[in-house]
Amino acid sequence: MKLLHFLGSSLRDLKKFPVAVQEETGFELCNIQKGQSPSDWKPMSVIGPGAMELRIHVGGEYRVVYVAKFAEAVYVLHIFAKKTPKTAKPDLELAKHRYNQLLKQRRS
């Protein structure tokens, strides 16, 4: 099973959501750590190669942007509540920034 790393404020952000959302997110992330596909996801190539969006539908819409392509760990880049059909630009930019920071850290 891969390790799980939350980048930036993503863990704090998750803890602000309702318990049912936290539980569903934990269940899905555990499956991802085991190499399984989550129940609802889509690729997020706009963030970077291998970036994925986990979709949580519990009392609203929540999203977890993560990268699982690295052998050592699953990296959670950003977690947010989705309020519109299209992902907000600030959410995309934050996830992209954290993805780029992750790549820089892995190189050094």
Query: What is the predicted pLDDT for the residue at 63?
Result: 98
Query: What region, left, alpha or beta, does residue 18 occupy, with left being phi > 0 and alpha being psi -120 to 50 degrees?
Result: beta
Query: What is the predicted pLDDT for the residue at 6?
Result: 98
| In contact, 8 and 78? CB cutoff 8 Å | yes
Mean pLDDT of 72-96: 96
Q: What domains, with CATH codes, occur in the chain? A: 3-107 (3.30.2310.20)
**Res 45 pLDDT > 90:** yes
Mean pLDDT of 66-91: 95
Greater confidence, 108 or 41? Answer: 41
Q: Encode pLDDT of 17-42 as tens digits.
A: 999 999 999 999 999 999 999 999 99
pTM, two decimals, is 0.95
User: How would residue 108 be classed by pLDDT, with cut points 50, 70 and 90?
Assistant: confident
**Res 9 pLDDT > 90:** yes
User: Who's near 1: CB < 8 A, 6+ residues apart?
Assistant: 33, 34
